[in-house]
Amino acid sequence: MCGIVGYIGEKNATPIILNGLKKLEYRGYDSAGLAVLTNGHIEVRRDAGKLKNLEQLIMEMPVSGKMGIGHTRWATHGEPTARNAHPHLSSSGEVVVVHNGIVENFIELKEELLADGLKFQSDTDTETIVLLVEKYLKGVNDLETAVRKTLERLKGAHGIVVFSAKEPDKIIAARIGNAGGVVIGLGEGENYIASDIPAILEHTRKLIFLESRQMAIVTKEKIEVSTIEGKPLAPQISSVAWDPISAEKGEYRHFMQKEIHEQVRSLTDTLAGRVDFEEGRIRLPQLNLTAEQANDIQKIILTACGTASYAGMVGRILIERIARIPAMLEIASEFRYSDPIVDEKTTVLAISQSGETADTLAAMEEARKKGAKLWSIVNAIGSQAMRIADGYISMQTGPEIGVASTKAFTAPLVDLYMLAILLADLRGTITPEYRKQLVDDLRLVPELAGRCLDRESEVEETARLLKDTRDMLFLGRGINMPIAFEGALKLKEISYIHAEAYAAGEMKHGPIALIDKDMPVLAIAIKDPWYEKMISQIEQAKARGGIVVAVATEGDERVASLVDRVLWVPEVPWMLSPVITVIPLQILAYHIASLRGLDIDQPRNLAKSVTVE
Ligand code: F6R
């Protein structure tokens, strides 16, 4: 969950690394640091807290050099202090390392190193890595061999970048398992290393992604990739088309606000090239799906974490309703411990913005072991979840920087809808007329999303009403039940208000006891097949003195007369309604957090991509 940047070339590494870390701060903001090679020795600057503290430190104690590595941390072992901040130096000061992941056999390795007389200067597991390299260097005297020997000793998943003052022409990067990516960026007479593409995108679009158990020796002139065991590999160079501008905040106060507003474009982009409105057909070429394979599927298991899992809940309904294939959602962190009933007739569909979430990747691996076909819906290009799947759908939304996911929630909702239509088409279980109607409905989506965004100031007024509440209930039914969960999650994670979501019909079985004047209720009550039931739910809440805010269809006076406030959304076909109903909830959470003066893009305790299990 940490961010890593490295540079080797002719320029000053310090601003390049700091700039890269800025793009990665969403991955962890407990501390930040960098190490550069200056006049034959390694200089480290690091500090607790956000990157601005490190920037301040470097202003006071400038440092420059032509190669270096940097890190932004999400703490696992050891408190978020300066002493535990990366990079970590060996005791001789000759070797330096930054690391993403957890050394699972850290205690055992630490005892061994202490017995060898080595001293620890931090409480981190990462320090065992640099001390092991130092230990092995004594025997072999070359960094590459010492790093290989070290990697063989580590349990767990890791991304590691290391260099030595004695070998000033190279940086070594390695990946083991799924602790996040390691990507090498190719330049002219210079090369870059990063955990995530946005960190180096302004410098290069030519990238090499390391797979698990691969290592790269990066000099300014060339890159050599091999397995950790030393077998040379021919690296595959990919090009990415992401626009670096979309990784900037622009006129918005926060990335989250910008990304909410980007949804008109991101929804348009996720449709681009995939919808044939003339023929009423969907094309998802990267899924590599034939009619024979589609007919072979007996069950689809959707798996994901957090917000992505709520997209999966909607997807489950769409796949069953449109394609008539039995579908279920299994939370990725539970999947592999549930002894899932999965075989070669099962397709497991993982949904992940980052494509690097450890739980989701573990679920995919478990599914693979059991013989399932693997698909993914992923935003981060080149990520592990994209690479290990048999087929994928790219969200095509551009980088999402705000920790609270917004545009990477609505895009997969559309992708899942398209997937359901494609499956139904290939299996011949849909009439051409119905298929055409479903495809036609997609045309409306970006514009309807735009109409929700136009109502931002009305939602902001409701945010003022709710900003001091301590608790809140979110209710929805049917296809909008997952949106109640997503609305509650958005509020919890950025405003720290306790929010719970329920399938509205469950209220009478217990939770209704919670409702009083201090427990506002947000009810999604649009004109969908569950409308009448939601009206009863609202009436029950009002009868108990609750403040009710409803998400309702424009012009619905009946709902308006029942509730305290309305968040209006345009009329929308019910199967696409989650894409629309979630937008006022994103805006509401954003403005409540903003009115409470909170750090919206970097909420406490969170990181953008969760690469620990
Ligand atoms: C919440 C949020 C998280 C992620 C979850 C999965 O706003 O962003 O709940 O959805 O951590 O992340 P990905 O989609 O990267 O696998």
Q: What is the pLDDT of residue 398?
A: 86
In the chain, what's the furthest Cα-to-Cα distance? 80
pLDDT at 79: 80
User: Rounded to 5 degrees, what are φ and ψ at 351?
Assistant: -120, 125
As given in the structure block, the two tokens for residue 439 are: 């495809």
Selected residue with higher pLDDT from 329 and 24: 329
Q: pLDDT tens across 76-90, in order?
A: 777 888 888 999 999
Residues 299, 345: Cα–Cα separation, whole Å: 7
pLDDT at 233 over 80: yes
- Give 480-521 as a 3 state SS string: HHHHHHHHHHHHHHHHCCEEEEEEHHHHHHCHHHHCCCCCCE
Nearest to 403, CA basis, from 68, 27, 89, 73: 27
Ligand 1 atom, smallest distance to 308 CA: 10
Distance 388 CA to ligand 1 centre (A): 19
Question: What does the pLDDT average to over 564-578?
Answer: 98
SS (H, E, C) 548-585: EEEEEECCCHHHHHHCCEEEEECCCCHHHHHHHHHHHH
| Among protein residues, the one whose CA lies closest to atom 16 of ligand 1 | 352
d(CA 387, CA 381): 9
200 C-beta neighbours (distance < 10 Å), count: 28
Pocket test for ligand 1, best of 196, 331, 357 (most atoms within 8 A of CB): 357
pLDDT (tens digit per residue) in 508-549:
888 888 888 889 999 999 999 999 999 999 998 898 888 899
Cα 493 to ligand 1 centroid, rounded to whole Å: 11
pLDDT of 404: 93
Q: Which residues contact 248 (CB under 8 A, 6 or more apart)?
A: none
Give the position, in ligand 1's atom list, of the atom nearest the Cα of 385.
16
pLDDT at 132: 96
Atom number in ligand 1 closest to CA 357: 16
The mean pLDDT of the chain is 92
Residue having the nearest C-alpha atom to atom 9 of ligand 1: 306
Going by pLDDT thresholds of 50, 70 and 90, the confidence category of residue 296 is: very high
For a mutational test of ligand 1's pocket, the pick from 307, 392, 612, i.e. the residue with the most ligand atoms closer than 8 A to its C-beta, is 307
| Cα(557) to centroid(ligand 1), Å | 36
Spacing, Cα 580 to ligand 1 middle (Å) = 19
Of the chain, the percentage scoring pLDDT greater than 90 comes to 76
DSSP 321: I
Six-digit token string for 52: 């601005």
Predicted pLDDT of residue 223: 96
Residue 179 has pLDDT above 80, yes or no: no
Sign of CA dihedral 382, 386, 391, 397: negative
Contacts with 193 (C-beta within 8 Å, 6 or more apart), sequence order: 4, 5, 6, 7, 69, 161, 171, 173, 182, 183, 184, 185, 200, 216, 218
Alpha-carbon gap, residue 34 to 141, rounded angstroms: 25
Percent of the chain whose pLDDT exceeds 70: 97
The pLDDT of residue 312 is: 98
* Rg of the chain in Å (alpha carbons): 25
User: How much is the pLDDT for 383?
Assistant: 86
Answer whether 312's CB lies under 8 Å from 266's CB: no
The atom number, within ligand 1, closest to the CA of 408 reads: 14
Q: Which of 351, 352, 353, 492 to mutate to test the pocket of ligand 1 (most atoms within 8 A of CB)?
A: 353
In terms of Cβ atoms closer than 10 Å to its own Cβ (0-12, 13-18, 19+), residue 241 is: exposed
Tell me the per-residue pLDDT of 193-222, one tens digit each, with 9 for 90 and over.
999 888 998 899 899 999 889 999 999 999
User: Within a 10 A sphere around the Cβ of 531, how many other Cβ atoms?
Assistant: 18
Q: Whose CA is nearest to atom 8 of ligand 1?
A: 405
**Is 560 a residue whose pLDDT tops 80?**
yes
Q: What is the pLDDT of residue 259?
A: 94
Q: Pairing between strand 471-476 and 521-524?
A: parallel
Distance CA 266, CA 402 (A): 15
Q: Which residues are catalytic?
A: 2, 608
More confident residue, 590 or 508: 590
Residue 269 amino acid letter: D
The pair of three-digit structure tokens given for residue 272, joined into one six-digit string: 């681009």
How confident is the model over 176-192, as a mean pLDDT? 89
Going from the Cα of 307 to the center of ligand 1, the distance in angstroms, rounded, reads 5
- Give CA–CA dist 334/360, Å, rounded: 10
Lowest-confidence region among 20-29, 83-92, 476-485: 20-29
Amino acid 582: pLDDT = 98
Query: Which ligand 1 atom sits closest to the C-alpha of 353?
Result: 14
| Strand 3-8, strand 191-194: pairing | antiparallel
State mean pLDDT over 293-300.
Answer: 97
Q: How far is the CA of 31 from the centre of ligand 1 (A)?
A: 22
Give yes or no for residue 476 having a pLDDT over 60: yes
- Domains recognised in the chain with CATH numbers: 3-246 (3.60.20.10), 249-452 (3.40.50.10490), 455-595 (3.40.50.10490)
Tell me: the pLDDT tens digits for 338-372?
888 999 999 999 999 999 899 999 999 999 999 99
Q: Exposure pattern of 7-28 as b/e (b: 16+ CB <10 Å)?
A: bbbeeebbebbbebbbbbbbbb
* CA angle, 347 then 349 then 351, to 5°: 175
Determine the distance from the C-alpha atom of residue 443 to the mean position of all C-alpha atoms in its chain, rounded to a whole number. Answer: 27
Give the residue from 452, 457, 474, 492 showing the smallest Cα distance to 591: 457
Count how many residues are written for the chain: 613
**What span, in angstroms and rounded, lies between the C-alpha atoms of 441 and 438?**
5
Q: Tokens representing 488?
A: 């509650």
CB-CB neighbours of 491 under 10 Å: 27
State the Cα–Cα distance between residues 232 and 279, nearest whole angstrom.
49
- pLDDT for position 612: 59
CA distance 469 to 491: 11
How far, CA to CA in Å, does 228 sit from each of 3, 152, 157?
A: 22, 8, 14
Instruction: In whole angstroms, give the CA distance from residue 577 to residue 527.
Output: 10
Ligand 1 atom 7, closest CA: 404
The CA–CA distances, whole Å, from 290 to 286, 297, 386, 426, 545 equal 11, 11, 19, 7, 55
Rounded to two decimals, the pTM is 0.76
178 and 386 Cβ atoms separated by less than 8 Å: no
CA–CA dist 361, 366 (Å, integer): 9
CA of 310 to the centre of ligand 1 (A): 10
Encoded tokens for 151: 């990697």
Residue nearest to atom 5 of ligand 1 (CA): 306
Q: From CA 460, how far away is CA 588, in angstroms rounded?
A: 6
Which residues have C-beta atoms less than 6 Å from ligand 1? 305-308, 352-354, 357, 360, 404-405, 489, 493, 609-610
Pick the residue whose CA is nearest to atom 10 on ligand 1.
307
Distance (angstroms) between ligand 1 centre and the Cα of 135 equals: 39
- Rounded mean pLDDT, 416-434: 97
Q: What average pLDDT does this structure show over 9-24?
A: 94
What residue type is 180 in one-letter code? G
**Which pair of tokens denotes residue 29?**
């903001």
Q: Which residues pair with 566 in a beta bridge?
A: 550
**Residue 570 in this model has a pLDDT that exceeds 90:** yes
Is the pLDDT at 244 greater than 60? The verdict is: no
What was the pLDDT predicted at 431?
A: 96
- Tokens representing 609? 């991509």
Question: What is the pLDDT at residue 81?
Answer: 87
User: Counting atoms of ligand 1 from 1, which one is nearest the CA of 406?
Assistant: 7
CA 55 and chain centroid, separation: 26
| Sign of the Cα pseudo-torsion (408, 414, 419, 420, in order) | positive
Instruction: For residue 397, give the amino acid letter.
Output: T
Measured between its terminal Cα atoms, the distance across the chain in Å is 11
- Summarised one tens digit per residue, pLDDT across range 430-448 is 999 999 999 999 999 999 9
Distance 308 CA to ligand 1 centre (A): 6
Could you please report the per-residue DSSP string of 156-205? S-EEEEEEETTSTT-EEEEEESSSS--EEEE-SS-EEEESSGGGTTTT-S
Mutate to test the pocket of ligand 1, among 354, 492, 604 (most ligand atoms within 8 A of CB): 354
